[in-house]
């Protein structure tokens, strides 16, 4: 199984924490901004609805005044169709607020109307709005109704009363709801670029009297909480789902004079689209920073992982010869875990080195005498031969050792061998190589020594041994054979054989003596 390396792991963790951090920051920012936007939009809609309601109220008051003013002069003109017609035209054109103006007598018969295309003069009006104007005999704003010509209209009417206080009829201005009219001019000017829109409902039947979608004018809207609130005379704002199931932020305000209500609203999704765009651009702007952070983290992971890689590499190549120890000691381990790992590796390595040293020593040493065994002897001589050094060879053999073993036992024999090793060490130079290649045979190799020099040293040793009182065994003698290997001569085998032959000769000549081999 391929394993994740530390570097990728750190990078992954850094990425995860960055993404989580950024994600939660964006999420919180989104929530806070969303709340703020919704609050601000609700307040903006409320203010806008209130302002327009106010404007519309003022406008209606103005045109009511104009109608009232006109109605006063009309009483004297009743019965003069031409003069009334001129008044109707003037009223329509001067105020520029009504689609049509009618002057109706007390029986409900049209005396004058403008525009002329209506052709209503002389006609008895029977529609609901006209009937109410006639009955009420007071200033009156109608609910929407179908006019004599089938249009959906609201009308503002003023009674015509003569100097004697007699009711002579009424003058009415009609607003065609489904055609270009003054309400559209007042309400529909500036507000539709961002998904917001505004509508007006009348209070009696909840009929829409103004809406940017013309086909909705005249529609009855029931169960809309914003409409219910505004018809109840409240100014305010609310989040609500409209009749088409759209989540809306609505502000509303009533028109005091007419009982109508203005509702300004904006879909929540249109409000939050800006926020989504804002967040998207935030994310896009953050991406390069995120990328740069990841590159920095990637570079830092290298600095963090490097000591571990180096320690692992060195640990893989540990040779127990001290070089790995030195290499590991040099590695910089600048943080706690790497430092601890390095310390443990060094501790483990020094234990290992000691063990290997001891094993090496044991492998090359004769455990009884502490002198080099055959393997130790060969290893040392290999080096000497490689260096081309010349040396003398002294082969030493205990005389009648079998007899010592036989008479005193094998343990005493061993202790003789041990004492023999000690005597050899005592009489050797520090540079001499002392060996016990096997049994009761010993060898001494004397670097840079001639056969004559070696003979003298061998004699000194022989005498010292012969004079030595061995524990239990007493006197023990040795025979020695000396040979020389000249510098540059690599034929060790032959030199050893010559030393052995000299030793054999010493034995043959009566033992306890030293013989030197013939040179060459």
Ligand X SMILES: Nc1nc2c(ncn2[C@@H]2O[C@H](COP(=O)(O)OP(=O)(O)OP(=O)(O)O)[C@@H](O)[C@H]2O)c(=O)[nH]1
Question: Cα(214)–Cα(177) distance, rounded to whole angstroms?
Answer: 9
Nearest approach, Cβ of residue 413 and ligand X (Å):
2
CB of 369 to ligand X, least distance (A): 9
Decide: 263 and 201 in contact? Cβ < 8 Å: yes
Nearer to ligand X, 119 or 471 (CB): 471
Q: By three-state DSSP, how is residue 394 classified? A: strand
Distance CA 508, CA 505 (A): 5
- What are the CA-CA distances from residue 19 to residues 11, 211, 304, 376 (Å)? 12, 47, 22, 66
Asked if residue 401 binds ligand X (CB under 6 A), the reply is yes
Nearer to ligand X, 133 or 512 (CB): 512
Please count the residues of the chain.
520
Regarding 366 and contact with ligand X (CB under 6 A), the answer is no
Q: Is 414 in the site for ligand X (CB under 6 A)?
A: yes
Name the minimum Å distance from CB 401 to ligand X: 3
Task: State how beta strands 514-516 and 478-485 pair.
Answer: parallel
In this structure, are residues 296 and 330 in contact, taking their beta carbons and an 8 Å threshold?
no
Q: Which is nearer to ligand X, 202 or 397 (by Cβ)?
A: 397
Q: Nearest approach, Cβ of 406 to ligand X (angstroms)?
A: 7
Among 410, 429, 460, 490, binds ligand X (CB under 6 A): 410
Least CB distance to ligand X at residue 511 (A): 6
The verdict on 508 binding ligand X (CB under 6 A) reads no
The reply to whether 402 sits near ligand X by the rule CB under 6 A is: yes
- 3-state DSSP of 35-84: HHHHHHHHHHHHHHHHHHHHHHHHHHHHHHHHHHHHHHHHHHHCCCHHHH
Return the ∠ at Cα 216 (arms to 210 and 217), rounded to 5°. Answer: 40
Query: Of 58-117, which residues contact ligand X (CB under 6 A)?
Result: none
Among 149-157, 199-207, 255-263, 401-409, which window interacts with ligand X (CB under 6 A)? 401-409
- Cα 158 to Cα 141: distance, rounded to the nearest angstrom: 9
In whole angstroms, the minimum distance from the beta carbon of 416 to ligand X comes to 7
Asked if 34 and 42 count as a contact pair (C-beta separation under 8 A), the reply is: no
Subset of 440-459 contacting ligand X (CB under 6 A) = 440
Nearer to ligand X, 47 or 405 (CB): 405
Of these, 200, 395, 396, 398, which contacts ligand X (CB under 6 A)?
Answer: 398
Question: What is the token pair recorded at 380?
Answer: 């040392």
How many residues sit in the footprint of ligand X (CB under 6 A)? 16
Decide if 440 is catalytic.
Answer: yes
Question: What is residue 121's DSSP assignment?
Answer: T
**Position among 33, 132, 360, 405 found at the interface with ligand X (CB under 6 A):** 405
* CA–CA gap between residue 489 and residue 389 (Å, rounded): 8
- Which stretch in 24-32, 151-159, 194-202, 396-404 sits in contact with ligand X by CB under 6 A? 396-404
In the complex, least distance from residue 444 CB atom to ligand X, rounded to whole angstroms: 17
Cβ pair 207, 219 in contact under 8 A: yes
Report residue 93 as tokens: 């054109």
Looking at 417, 457, 495, 496, which residue binds ligand X (CB under 6 A)?
417
Q: Which is nearer to ligand X, 288 or 367 (CB)?
A: 367
Per CB under 6 A, contacts with ligand X among 3-62 are none
Give min distance, CB of 402 to ligand X, in A: 3
CA-angle at 19, arms to 14 and 24, nearest 5° = 130
Which part of the chain contacts ligand X (CB under 6 A), choosing from 207-215, 252-260, 331-339, 402-410? Answer: 402-410
202 binds ligand X, rule: CB under 6 A: no
Is residue 399 near ligand X by the rule CB under 6 A?
Answer: yes
Bridge partners, 210 (sequence order)? 200
Instruction: Using only the alpha carbons of the chain, give its radius of gyration.
Output: 62
Beta bridge partners of 169: 105, 160
| Active-site entry in 440, 456, 459, 493 | 440
Q: Which residues bind ligand X (CB under 6 A)?
A: 397-403, 405, 410, 413-414, 417, 439-440, 507, 511
Residues that are catalytic: 440
């Amino acid at each position: 199984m391929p394993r994740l390396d530390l570097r990728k792991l750190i990078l992954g963790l850094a990425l995860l924490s960055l993404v989580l951090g950024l994600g939660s920051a964006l999420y919180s920012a989104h929530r806070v901004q969303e709340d703020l936007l919704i609050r601000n939009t609700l307040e903006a809609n409320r203010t806008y609805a209130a302002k327009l309601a106010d404007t519309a109220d003022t406008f209606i008051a103005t045109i009511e005044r104009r109608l009232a003013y006109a109605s006063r002069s009309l009483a004297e003109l009743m019965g003069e169709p031409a003069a009334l017609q001129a008044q109707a035209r003037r009223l329509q054109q001067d105020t520029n607020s009504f689609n049509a103006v009618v002057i109706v007598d007390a029986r409900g018969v049209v005396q004058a109307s403008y525009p002329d295309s209506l052709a209503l003069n002389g006609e008895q009006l029977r529609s609901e709005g006209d009937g109410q104007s006639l009955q009420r005999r007071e200033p009156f704003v109608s609910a929407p109704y179908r006019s004599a010509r089938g249009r959906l209209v609201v009308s503002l009417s003023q009674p015509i009363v003569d100097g004697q206080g007699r009711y002579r009829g009424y003058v009415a201005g009609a607003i065609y709801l489904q055609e270009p009219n003054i309400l559209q001019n007042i309400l529909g000017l500036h507000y539709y670029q961002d998904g917001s829109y505004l509508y007006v409902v009348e209070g009696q039947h909840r009929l829409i009297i103004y809406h940017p979608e013309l086909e909705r004018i005249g529609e009855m809207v029931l169960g809309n909480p914003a409409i219910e609130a505004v018809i109840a005379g409240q100014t305010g704002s609310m989040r609500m789902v409209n009749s088409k199931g759209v989540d809306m932020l609505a502000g509303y305000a009533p028109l005091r004079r007419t009982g109508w209500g203005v509702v300004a609203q904006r879909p929540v999704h249109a409000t939050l689209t800006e926020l989504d765009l804002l967040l998207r651009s935030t994310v896009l702007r953050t991406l390069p920073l995120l990328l740069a952070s990841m590159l920095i983290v990637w570079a830092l992971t290298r600095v963090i992982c490097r000591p571990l890689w180096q320690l692992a590499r060195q640990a893989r190549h540990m040779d127990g010869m001290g070089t790995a120890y030195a290499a590991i000691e040099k590695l910089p381990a600048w943080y706690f875990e790497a430092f601890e790992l390095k310390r443990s590796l060094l501790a483990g390595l020094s234990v290992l080195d000691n063990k290997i040293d001891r094993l090496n020593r044991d492998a090359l040493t004769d455990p009884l005498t502490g002198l080099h065994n055959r393997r130790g002897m060969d290893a040392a001589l290999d080096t000497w031969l490689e260096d081309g050094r010349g040396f003398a060879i002294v082969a030493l053999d205990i005389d009648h050792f079998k007899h010592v073993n036989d008479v005193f036992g094998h343990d005493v024999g061993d202790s003789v061998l041990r004492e023999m090793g000690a005597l050899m060490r005592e009489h050797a130079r520090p540079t001499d190589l002392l060996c016990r290649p096997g049994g009761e045979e010993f060898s001494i190799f004397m670097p840079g020594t001639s056969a004559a020099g070696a003979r003298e040293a061998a004699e000194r040793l022989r005498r010292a041994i012969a004079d030595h009182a061995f524990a239990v065994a007493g006197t023990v003698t040795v025979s020695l054979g000396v040979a020389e290997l000249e510098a540059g001569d690599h034929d060790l085998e032959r030199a050893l054989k010559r030393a052995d032959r000299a030793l054999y000769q010493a034995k043959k000549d009566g033992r306890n003596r030293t013989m030197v081999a013939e040179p060459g």
